[in-house]
Amino acid sequence: MAKASLRCCTVLDISDWDTTRGWQHKKVGLHESLELNAGNKQSPVRSDAPICVIFASANAVRKCECCRTHLIDEFHMPKPWWTDSTRKSNGYFGCHVTSSHINTWAFFEIKQLEEGDKYRWYKLNVFIRWNKSTHQTTVLAFDTLPLVASRFLDRLATPDDDNLDCPFWFFPHLLGEVARIQERAVWAIRDRVRAVEKQVTPKGRPDPDYRILHDIARHAIHVSETLDVATSTIKRMLARHEDLMEKLNSQDEFGSQEIHSQLQFYESFISNLRCRSASNEKRMLNEIQLAFNTVAQHDASTSVKIGLATQSDSVTMKSIAFVTLTFLPPTFVSAIFSMSFFDYDAETGWAISDKFWLYWAFAVPTTVLTAVAWHFLRQYNVSTPPKEKPKWPMVSLV
């Protein structure tokens, strides 16, 4: 049972093409192929097929040392290609020239928004081996979605024989797919931004969903990143192709000028897409600022209304205080004369008790004591800062 699962760890989906039969498809378990051809080192690629495209899972190959070693030995793949840092990279291009082959590899990553809050990452990861003598091209495409793989085969079904003589002839087809997906990704962001721009400001206090706005901005930043990396990768590709044309003196023999022109076109196309993506980012940032400022403006107008109401209340309180202060002295005088310390008789007139000093003996100290207590209480409140609650829970280290 373990042996059966080992054999099925990596499956190669191989498509061979020639002018007479077109595409011929087969699936081969890599372990099974290695065991059946043990000792004779038979390659899974047909020697008489001008084009061979092999689809495989890079993660499955990484998990199996035997499969990884076989692909490295069979196609002379660089060992750093299989490292974890390369797997996490957001794009690259490489080229290695030997006496019999020219090996090139490239990786493009694209983020595509879908309906709702869903999105998908497209990965176009290829390793190409071109034979100098036979001009046979073998393409290893890793982690390619079925729909993208089908479009690849359709693009390669009618190749130009002159272009097959150029070691970079496959890259215009690859960049065509990159440009197609990138354009959809940029326009998907644009549609989201336009939907936000067309929203009508509601009456009353605005309530924008900042989480959605920031998610759209985040997706726009990712799309711009992939476009920047794609542009940089194509520039490296063009520089290497130009250097290769000079070394091989292949401007006429390999039809490299036409391939170079196609690569330049896609560089221009994707660079201009980057400008539209930058515009999407700025428009989204503008909408976020507008939403924030609209809420701030509404809150400011509410604060002004509250201030006006407070001012009106203050005027009312001043009127009440004025009336109170007006009647306070007469009230105090009437309270004094209404005490039992004073007595009035029509015959004798006013009489004041000899115990009237008791009123002052209690009133003055009580007033002074109240004033002193208020003063010290106020000083204590000013000098003692409020206790702040800990922001993080205390965790015992014992």
For 7-39, letters b (16+ CB in 10 Å) and e give bebbbbbbbbbeeeeeeeeeebbbbebbeeeee
pTM attached to this predicted model: 0.74
The β-bridge partners of 54 are 14, 140
143-154: average pLDDT = 88
What pLDDT score was predicted for residue 358? Answer: 82
Q: Which token pair is 134? A: 């036979």
What pLDDT score was predicted for residue 3? Answer: 43
What DSSP character marks residue 28?
A: E
What pLDDT score was predicted for residue 396? Answer: 43
What pLDDT score was predicted for residue 255? Answer: 65
Helix H segments across 46-88? 58-63, 65-75, 84-87
> What is the rounded (10 degree) CA torsion for 59, 62, 68, 72?
80
101-113, strands of its sheet edge to edge: 22-29, 11-18, 51-56, 137-142, 119-131, 101-113, 91-97
Q: Which of 57-71, 117-131, 337-351 has the highest mean pLDDT?
A: 117-131
What pLDDT score was predicted for residue 217? Answer: 93
With tokens 């980012």, the residue in question is: 281
What pLDDT score was predicted for residue 12? Answer: 85
Rounded CA-CA distance 51/23 in Å is: 9
For 336-355, letters b (16+ CB in 10 Å) and e give eeeeebeeeeeeeeeeeeee
With tokens 């009647």, the residue in question is: 327
The full DSSP string for 321-339 is: HHHHHHHHHHHHHHHHHTS
